[in-house]
A and B are shown apart, each in its own frame.
Chain A
Amino acid sequence: MSEQKKSYLHVVREKYCKGCGICVAFCPKQVLSLKNGKVFAEKPDLCIGCRMCELRCPDFAIEIRQKGEDEARAADAGSVDYEIPPEAHHA
Chain B
Amino acid sequence: MSDVLKYFRQERLPHIWCPGCGHGTVTGALVRAIERLGLDKNKVCVVSGIGCSSRAVGYLDFDTLHTAHGRALAFATGIKLARPDLKVVVMTGDGDCTAIGGNHFIHAARRNIGITTIVMNNEIYGMTSGQYSPMTPKGMVGTTAPYGNVERSFDLCELAKAAGATFVGRSTTYHVPLLIDLIEKALQNDGFSVVESIGQCPTYLGRKNKIGGAVEMLNWIKDQSVNVKAAAALPPEKVKGKFLIGELHNAPAPEYSSEQGELIGRVQRNYSDIKGGLWECASNSD
Please list the residues of chain A having a beta carbon within 8 angstroms of any beta carbon in chain B. Answer: 11, 15-16, 18-22, 25-26, 52, 54-63, 73-77, 80, 82, 86, 89-91
Contact = CB atoms under 8 A, between A and B. Distances in A.
A89 B6 contact: yes
Interface of B: 1-3, 5-6, 8-11, 13-15, 17-25, 28-29, 32, 40-42, 61, 173-174, 176-177, 180, 202, 213-215, 218
A58 B2 contact: no
Given A26-B218, A55-B28, A73-B3, A19 B13 contact: no
B24 A57 contact: yes
B203 to A, nearest CB: 11
Contacts of A56: 25, 173-174, 176, 218
Contacts of A82: 10-11
B40 A20 contact: no
Given A56-B173, A60-B1, A86-B61, A80 B10 contact: yes
A74 B6 contact: yes
Contact of B21 (A21, A25, A58, A86): A58
A11 B91 CA distance: 29
A20 B22 CA distance: 11
B175 to A, nearest CB: 10
A55 B218 CA distance: 14
9 contacts: A18-B18, A18-B20, A19-B19, A21-B214, A55-B28, A57-B25, A59-B24, A60-B5, A76-B2
Contacts of A11: 1-2
Contacts of B2: 11, 63, 73-76
B41 A91 contact: yes
B13 A77 contact: yes
Contacts of B5: 60, 74, 77
Nearest to B179: A55
Contacts of B176: 52, 55-56
